Amino acid sequence: MAMMNAKQYEDSLRKLKLNVYMFGKKVENVVDDPIIRPSMNAVAATYECAHQAEYEDLMTAKSHLTGRKINRFTHIHQSTEDLVKKSKMGRLLGSLTACCFQRCVGMDTLNALSMTTYDIDKKYGTEYNKRFLAFLAYVQEKDLTCDGAMTDPKGDRSKPPHQQADPDLFLHVVEERKDGIVVRGAKCHQTGAVNSHEIIVMPTISLRQDDKDYAICFALPSDAQGITYILGRQSCDTRKLEPGMMDRGNQFYGGHEALVVFDNVFVPWERVFMYKEWDFAGQLVEQFASYHRQSYACKAGVGDVLIGATQCIAEYNGVQGASHVKDKIIEMNHLNETLFCGSLACAAEGHKEPSGTYYVHTLLANVCKQNVTRFPFEIARLAQDVAGGLMVTLPSEQDFRSPEIGKWMEKYYKGNPKVPTEYRMRILRLIENLTLGTAAVGYLTESMHGAGSPQAQRIMIARQVNMDLKKKTAKKLSGIPENE
C-alpha cells in the first residue's frame, strides 16, 4: 500500500469502532465531532505534507526493511541525518498547524522499541525484536498513526506499583494464557489517542523485580475490545460548538488528550514486546523520553506562528515602531531559535546503537527539553504584553456580527486605520488560543510536562554530565595534582 493522503487517513479512521466518551456521553461519530475534528485535521496534515514536493525530503524516508518510500513518522532512524530531518520536520509541522500534530509520540516509541527489544533478546534469547519488526513492517505498509502510551495514573507517588492500594493504578498483567495475556489499568494524557490506528503501551518508570507484572510492552489496534477513551477538557474547547469560527483563534487545527482505560484487555503473544523483563523497563523509558525530548522542535514551529502573530498585532495596534516592542520581538526570536538549536544539537551528536538504530545524544536532548519547559512561557508572556488587554476582554464574534451592536465593535476596536477591525480581532484570538486557549495545552502545558516533568530532565542532566572530567580539567589547569 502506498502512503496515505489526508482523505485516505480520514477514511481509515471512519472504519474504527472506538469507544469514546466526552462530557459524560458516548461519541458516536468521532471523526466529525466538532471538538475532536480540529485535532484530526492536524494529524491529516502529516499525511498531506508527505505528498507535497516541497516537503518530501523532510516528510518521507526510505524504509530500512523494504527499501520503499514511507512517511517519516513510521521510520527507524538510520543516520544522524535522519535525526536532523526529524527535528526539521517537527518545526515545519508546528509552523503549519500551530498545534500538536500528535504523531511524534508514536514515532519515538517505535524507535525506542527497535533498540530495547534488540537488547532484551541479546540478554535473554527472546524473540521480541522479531515480533516488533513484523509489527513495524505492518505499520509502514499501512502508513498507520501510533499512540505511544506511557504515563500511568501512578496513585500514591511515594510507593512503587506493587505497593499501591489499587494495583490498577499502574497498568499490569492480570492473567497469562497460552495465546496471550490479559491486562488492566489506564494510561493518562494520551495525545491524539482517538486519531490513532494503533496504541503501543510501555512501562512508565524504572522497575524492580517486585514490580515485574508491570514490566509489559505491547501494541493493539486502537479499537480493541475493552479499551475506552475519555476525552480531557481544554480551555475554551466549547467555542468549537458556537456559530462562527473567529473565536476559535486557530481556524483549522487543534489537539486533544485522553484517559485510555484498559478493562481486562486481551493481547496476543505476537503483539507483546516485553513481558516481565523488569530490568529493561528503565532503559525503554529513558530511550523513549530522550527521543521525545528531541521532538520538542515542534514548539519552535508553534513559536514561529506566535511570533508572527505578535508582529501582526504590533502593526495592527500601531506600535510596531516602538523600540521596546521591537526588542521584545527580538527576544522572542532569540528564545525560539535557542529551542531549535537544542533539538538540532542532540540530533547531530547522535550515534548508532547495536540494533542499528541511531539514537540522540541523551544529555543534549534533556537540555533541549529543559529549555522547552521555560522559553515558551516567556515567549507567550511577551506576546501577551505586546497584544494588550483586549486579547482577554474582546466580545464574541456574534457581537461583532450583530446588526444592533456590531457597529460599535467596528468603531471602538479599530486600531491602525489601514487594517480592518476584523483582522485585528482575528489575530488577537489566535494569540489568545496559543497562550490561553486550546492550543496552550500543546504549547505551554505540554512544554512543561510532556516527555516528563522538568525535574526528570534535571535528573538526567546530572547523570549524563561527566563531572569527573570537568574536575580533572580544572585541577590540571590550576596545577593541582590529579590524585588530590
List the grid coordinates of 103.
Answer: 504523531
Instruction: Please tell me the distance from the alpha carbon of residue 346 to that of residue 350, in angstroms, as a whole number.
Output: 6
**pLDDT of res. 1:** 72
Read out DSSP for 114-133?
HHHHHHHHHHH---HHHHHH
**pLDDT of res. 418:** 97
Write b or e for each residue in 372-403: b if 16 or more Cβ atoms lie within 10 A of its Cβ, otherwise e.
bbebbbebbebbbebbbeebeebebbeebeee
Q: Report whether pLDDT(49) > 90.
A: yes
List the grid coordinates of 29.
Answer: 461519530
CA angle, residues 377, 379, 383, in degrees to nearest 5? 115
**pLDDT of res. 52:** 98
Write b or e for each residue in 167-181: b if 16 or more Cβ atoms lie within 10 A of its Cβ, otherwise e.
bbbbbbbbeeeeebb
**pLDDT of res. 392:** 95
**pLDDT of res. 90:** 98
Q: Tell which residue, 413, 447, 456, 443, has the closest CA to residue 313.
A: 413
Mean pLDDT of 180-188: 98
Instruction: Please tell me the distance from the alpha carbon of residue 466 to that of residue 302, in angstroms, as a whole number.
Output: 34
List the grid coordinates of 46.
Answer: 502529516
**pLDDT of res. 462:** 94
**pLDDT of res. 55:** 98
Instruction: Collapse the DSSP code of 276 into the 3-class scheme (helix H, G, I; strand E, B; otherwise coil) and give the result.
Output: coil
pLDDT tens, residue by residue, 72-122: 999 999 999 999 999 999 999 999 999 999 999 999 999 999 999 999 999
Residue recorded with cell 486481551: 266
Q: Tell which residue, 13, 433, 454, has the closest CA to residue 250.
A: 433
- Percentage with pLDDT > 70 across the chain: 100
Q: Report whether pLDDT(399) > 80.
A: yes
List the grid coordinates of 177.
Answer: 494464557
The amino acid sitting at 353 is E
Backbone angles phi, psi at 187, to 5 degrees: -125, 130
Residues with Cβ < 8 Å from 6, sequence gap 6 or more? 44, 45, 47, 48
Backbone angles phi, psi at 140, to 5 degrees: -70, -40
Residues with Cβ < 8 Å from 410, sequence gap 6 or more? 400, 421
Which domains, and CATH codes, for the chain? 293-476 (1.20.140.10)
pLDDT tens, residue by residue, 141-165: 999 999 999 999 999 999 999 999 9
The mean predicted confidence, pLDDT, of the chain is 97
The amino acid sitting at 394 is L
Question: How many other CB atoms are there within 10 angstroms of residue 255's CB atom?
Answer: 24
Q: At 205, is the pLDDT very low, low, confident or very high (cuts 50, 70, 90)?
A: very high
Q: Which amino acids are annotated catalytic?
A: 100, 104, 191, 257, 292, 296, 298, 446
Instruction: Please tell me the distance from the alpha carbon of residue 242 to that of residue 240, in angstroms, as a whole number.
Output: 6
Mean pLDDT of 200-225: 97
Q: At 13, is the pLDDT very low, low, confident or very high (cuts 50, 70, 90)?
A: very high
pLDDT tens, residue by residue, 268-301: 999 999 999 999 999 999 999 999 999 999 999 9
Q: At 439, is the pLDDT very low, low, confident or very high (cuts 50, 70, 90)?
A: confident
Q: At 453, is the pLDDT very low, low, confident or very high (cuts 50, 70, 90)?
A: confident
Residue recorded with cell 489575530: 427
**120, 280 contact by CB (below 8 A):** yes
**350, 80 contact by CB (below 8 A):** yes
pTM above threshold 0.85:
yes
Q: Report whether pLDDT(202) > 90.
A: yes
